[in-house]
Amino acid sequence: MVHHILVVDNEPELLELVEFHLVQAGLRATRAISGFEALKHLDESAFDLIILDIMMDGMDGFSVLERIRGGSLEMPVILLSAKHEVESKIHGLGIGADDYVTKPFSPAELVARVQAHLRRNRKSVPIERMMSYSYGKLSLNPAAQILHKNGQTIPLSATETKMLLALMKRPNQTIPKLRLFEEVWGHSNYDENSINVYMNYLRKKIEEDPRNPRYIQTVWGVGYLLTGDPE
């Protein structure tokens, strides 16, 4: 099967460059010059991954991403932006992006990231995701992306589910940040900020007081540890 990639950017030259490298890697690419055109393509065709520019006239990439996730489309989304500000990155990851590439970028690196996300996405559901995991008052159903706590049902994003699953598979064991990143994001282009952002989101969902976490402890200079009150 040839994977189908939607590339969205308001720069025709960049669209052509990215399409060329994707096709050279054996992928199929469709271009969209605006956010509105991207949504039209998404209504008409199925895509395995989206490369999405943030800064576009009319409808920016953040608005497109919100529409994508609001419609429950789960394909990976890689954001492109000339912005270097941390706030922009945090916002993009927070509303559902899977990766973030800052312009100017290496086309070869972008293709490598695309292939890493496709590999992770196309794998059949592993047995670990079909199982339920429990620790104390926490019970995780990875396939449904749902956490149960004290009778409360807490929906999780795909990334939050992978992060919590990694911790619940190894309770009371410190997991280094780099290892956690590789397991959750599926590639080794380590981004500590992504880990920190999603850990904050996860803690807000499962901790009574996220600033003083009971379950997910930070092991300073190393990583994270799932602990608490197993019953």
pLDDT at position 122: 66
DSSP E strands in the chain: the ranges are 4-8, 28-32, 49-53, 77-81, 99-102, 133-135, 138-141, 146-149, 152-155, 175-176, 216-219, 223-226
Whether the CA torsion 188, 38, 87, 142 is positive or negative: it is negative
Task: Per residue of the chain (231 residues), give pLDDT as tens.
Answer: 689 999 999 999 999 999 999 999 999 999 999 999 998 888 777 788 999 999 998 899 999 998 888 765 778 999 998 777 778 888 888 888 999 898 889 999 999 999 999 887 765 445 455 578 888 889 998 877 789 998 899 988 777 888 999 999 999 999 999 999 888 877 777 888 888 888 998 999 999 999 999 999 999 999 999 997 644
- Final residue of a domain: which of 122, 144, 164? 122
In a domain, 46, yes or no: yes
Q: Do 16 and 96 have their domain in common?
A: yes
Question: Which pLDDT score, from 0 to 100, does residue 110 have?
Answer: 95
Quote the number of domains for the chain.
2
On whether both 101 and 147 belong to a single domain, the answer is no
Range of the domain at 57: 4-122
d(Cα 225, Cα 178) in Å, to the nearest integer? 14
List the CATH number of the domain containing 197: 1.10.10.10
What secondary structure letter does DSSP report for 216? Answer: E
Residues 116 and 176 in one domain: no
Are residues 106 and 18 located together in one domain of the fold? yes
Predicted local distance difference test score (pLDDT) of residue 72: 58
Residues 6+ apart with CB under 8 A from 24: none
94 and 171, same domain (yes or no): no
Cβ neighbourhood burial of 161 (10 Å; 0-12, 13-18, 19+) = buried
pTM of the predicted structure, to 2 decimals: 0.57
User: 141 and 111, same structural domain?
Assistant: no
Q: Kindly state whether residues 144 and 176 are assigned to the same domain.
A: yes
Give the chain's end-to-end CA distance (angstroms, integer). 47
**Residue 30 Rama label (left phi>0; alpha psi -120 to 50; beta):** beta
My answer on whether 212 and 140 are in the same domain is yes
State the maximum Cα–Cα separation within the chain, in Å, rounded to a whole number: 59
Task: For residue 31, report the phi and psi dihedrals to the nearest 5 degrees.
Answer: -95, 150
Q: Going edge to edge, which strands form the sheet with 49-53?
A: 28-32, 4-8, 49-53, 77-81, 99-102
Beta carbons of 53 and 31 less than 8 angstroms apart: no
CATH number for position 88: 3.40.50.2300
pLDDT at 115: 93
- Residue 231: inside a domain: no
Q: Domain end: 82, 103, 122, which one?
A: 122
The DSSP code for 125 is P
pLDDT score recorded for residue 19: 96
